[in-house]
Chain A
Amino acid sequence: MNVTRRHFVKSATAATLAFGAVPLLRAQSTRKFRTALIGSGWWGMNILREAMASGRSKVIALGDVDTRALDATAMHVNDASGDQPKKYRDFRELLDKEKPEIVIVATPDHWHSLISIAALRAGAHVFVEKPTGHTVRESRAMVDVAKATGRLVQVGLHRRIGPHFVSGMKFLKEGGAGQIGMVRAFVHSGGGKERPAPNADPPEGLDWDFYCGPAQLRPFNTKIHPGGWRNFLGFANGTLGDWGVHWLDQVLRWTDEKFPRRIFSTGGRPVQGEPVLNEREQTSDAPDSQIAVYQFESFTVNWEHRKFADNKAEKSAIGCNFYGTKGTFHLGWRDGWTFYPANDNDKILHEPSQIQEPDGHNLTLLWKNFLESIDAGRVPIGDVESAHRATNMSLLGMLSLKLGRSIQWDGDKETIPGDAEANQLLSRAYRGPWEYPKA
């Protein structure tokens, strides 16, 4: 710490003491927030566990369209905290009756914006999973509503706060890899052809129509629920809309540029096969492989994912490579970060990951930051505006893929200049009675 900063901190502390704000802060920091979870599945429970472990949440309500998830999550909550949350099928009723102070949104993507906006308008602070929207404009609406209501939004971008990500960013920003001209982000796994599974009546206790909500209604299939919706483009945006947000977010954290100027994506299902959707059976419909190129003013990013062949030829199947004049910086997940210097005489540098297993995240730190930000009234690390820009990276890649050609992007106005057809895809028609959100 340099002298100037130390001096500043000391002065700030003195000022705080002088104004007698410390007792007030302390009173605030032990207060328990009336907390509700909407989307009570596996990941929602992961977040809610952090809320309970912080000792600063009283879990008052759970929302889900599947009573199986509701019942099980209620049991977990009761086991962990003794709280007895009320169970709701309809999030609107939950918000209306319970008046939660914190709402966690961990539904499939197509609900993120609508529910978060409703929670903000009901006066709650929101912790919402990434991405912030299924299309660009509903994500933008969430940003605007957050601003208008003055409530806080923390987006589940735990990779912003994970220790090896933080130190990796520092290394890059301090020029450890030299001048970076190109970034490659990638997520690869094994896999093969996909066969259709038979459609079925929704299981007892699942309100399938409500699950589909603003998205197109399609026959129920166990490939979708629980947990398979990421591979269905009506509910999510495939691998780019899932993993892509985390890694492309790291690129945005590193660069001073706010958005790419030109985007092109191609891909498809050469291995999994053409999507199937008929009365009897269906497959998923997200691409099994995809390349998206993001042209910034001073560098280019290449995203690729593949659900076959894995990536045994390289050292890692998941992460980001920043290519600089001093060497290649690999920002990974469980494998931490590694810097491979261009000069053979220099040493390879490595920092291991410090993540929470078994799911490999840093939610404890992210939840802590959320509470500190609420207490202090400051912008949290996963703030909605920058998370929206990270979400846009993946949504614009998907948009180009669907369109079949490249697009320009005016990130200040959030439009695709001179391309009416492409601009149409920045939003989508909602299925009634749901209305596309506006700020």
Chain B
Amino acid sequence: MIRSFLRTIFALIALAALDVAADDWPHWRGPNFNGISNEKNWLSSWPAAGPPVAWKAAVGIGFSSVSVVNDRVFTMGYVDEKDVVWCLDAATGKVLWKHAYDADLGDKFFEGGPTSTPTLAGEVVYTSSRWGDVFCFEAASGKIRWSKNLQKETGLRIPDWGFAGSPVVHENLLLLNLGDAGIAVEKETGKLVWTSANKDAGYSTPLRFARNGETFAILGSAKSFVAVNAKTGKESWRIPWPTQYGVNAADPVLDGDLMFISSGYGKGAGLFKLSGAQSEAVWQNKELRTQMNPSVLLNGFLFGIDGDTTSKASLKCLDFKTGVLKWAESGIGSGALMAADGKLIVLTDRGELIVAEASPERFKPIARTQVLGGKCWTVPVLANGHIYCRNAQGNLVCLDVQAK
């Protein structure tokens, strides 16, 4: 009796261990799907030399960011003609397991390699490749529960830079940005549930929002942002949003019934009010033209990257409600940012890590340090007292920012 009780307790503890703790970062855009961490107690100011480096790892060419749950770090990279999914020990960087599968480097116009981020959900981790390979692994062991190539199964077009959105779990489904308006498979089996027209996908990750008891997923498509019923795939609304080369990559930013979208190639940004099956523009301008990494919204202000990799990109702050530019900081390039405890964590495209106040007055850096060389287009991630930064060549550095 007691033994059975203890076993139950241990089983519960084991389960809890895989649950998402408050300061984990289990998937792209973090626990709240908005680029903002729940983490508060971390060191945001450092000596000139920067915070101590806990470990470094080489994860292969690519732009996949990290997901962190408890003591495990997940990311992807391209090594020796294969994509590799890595599970690393968060304390040491040691490889706990990895899985490699044949993949094209796909280095047209950039270094190539994987561009999506692993998605942790309970005891499994989902990954997707630029060419439609989708995997469900046991997070603890790396054992494959199921895998398939959804592009080959559906014949959906591969957009110019391959599929870039990360998988998103919704109830019993796994949502992916393939096709004109997404695709859904059963998360337990990978069986196809719904699909969309055979037109080019955009490069964003499906973003869910609930309205009147229904859940919708918003997807950046090649020429528009489109919302579909997450359960059925039925289209709800579509905002035409054409850009050169069909690149709608930055995820929308949601606040109540307001949705902010932005794209690069000179396109610009807009705020839309979502009501029922409609969406109506609040403002549109060209102050923030985000090519890849999405903005974060803090206290009514947007912070995001304006400009393309081929231009002099800068970090900008906009008033969310009006679109009015508050400030612009050059020298950031096509970097990326997240936020935690009211502060911005920015990695410039040349590998400088900057912590700054999320102030609408001006750019107010608190700490900055060079952490990587090469090209950095991947968002830095703060999780459990550590900041993870990587470059295109796959140098991953873990910095210790635990409050002492």
Contacts and interface: CB of A to CB of B under 8 A. Distances in A.
Contact of A79 (B106, B152, B243, B286): B286
A73 B265 CA distance: 9
Interface string A174-216: 0000000000000000011111111011011000000000000
A76 B264 CA distance: 12
A200 B107 contact: no
A223 interface: yes
Nearest to A222: B160
Contacts of B106: 197
B108 A75 contact: no
A358 B333 CA distance: 11
A226 B245 CA distance: 8
Nearest to B199: A204
A69 B244 contact: yes
A227 interface: yes
Contact of B243 (A42, A72, A226): A72
Q: Please tell me the size bucket of the interface on B.
A: 20 to 34
Contacts of A68: 242, 244-246
A197 B311 contact: no
B154 to A, nearest CB: 11
Contacts of A359: 310
Interface string A71-86: 1110110010000000
Contact of A198 (B107, B158, B245, B309): B158
Interface residues of A, number: 28
Interface stretch (B17-25, B97-105, B319-327): B97-105
B200 interface: yes
A227 B244 contact: no
Interface string B150-171: 0110000111100000000000
Interface string B83-110: 0000000000000000000111111110
B81 A192 contact: yes
A71 B311 contact: no
Given A192-B81, A193-B81, A222-B158, A228 B108 contact: yes
Contacts, number: 64
A195 B104 contact: yes
A434 to B, nearest CB: 27
B381 to A, nearest CB: 26
Given A68-B245, A201-B157, A76 B109 contact: no
B222 interface: yes
Contact of A191 (B105, B131, B242): B105
Interface in A317-376: 358-359
B105 A358 contact: no
Contacts of A194: 104-105
Contacts of A197: 104, 106, 131, 158
Contacts of A203: 157, 199-200, 222, 246
A378 B245 CA distance: 39
B50 interface: no
A358 B242 contact: no
Q: Could you say which of B80, B105, B131, B244 has the most chain A C-beta atoms within 10 Å of its C-beta?
A: B244
Contact of B108 (A71, A192, A201, A227): A227
A204 B107 CA distance: 24
Nearest to B103: A195
A195 B309 CA distance: 26
A181 B107 CA distance: 37
Contacts of A223: 108
B200 A195 contact: no
A228 B107 CA distance: 10
Contact of A358 (B102, B157, B310): B310
A198 B242 contact: no
Best-buried of B151, B152, B200, B286 by chain A (most CB within 10 Å): B200
B266 interface: yes
Interface in B129-162: 131, 151-152, 157-160
A359 B243 CA distance: 21
A231 to B, nearest CB: 9
Contacts of B266: 72, 75-76, 79
Interface string A32-55: 000000000010000000000000
A43 to B, nearest CB: 11
Nearest to A358: B310
A225 to B, nearest CB: 8
B160 A226 contact: yes
A197 B130 CA distance: 11
Nearest to A203: B200
Interface of A: 42, 68-69, 71-73, 75-76, 79, 191-198, 200-201, 203-204, 222-223, 226-228, 358-359
Interface of B: 80-81, 102-109, 131, 151-152, 157-160, 198-200, 222, 242-246, 265-267, 286, 309-312
7 contacts: A75-B266, A191-B105, A197-B106, A198-B158, A203-B199, A203-B200, A203-B246
Given A68-B246, A79-B266, A197-B158, 6 more contacts: A192-B80, A192-B105, A195-B102, A203-B199, A203-B200, A204-B199
Question: Can you list the 7 inter-chain pairs with the closest CB atoms, starting with the nearest?
Answer: A72-B244, A195-B104, A200-B157, A222-B160, A193-B81, A228-B108, A358-B310
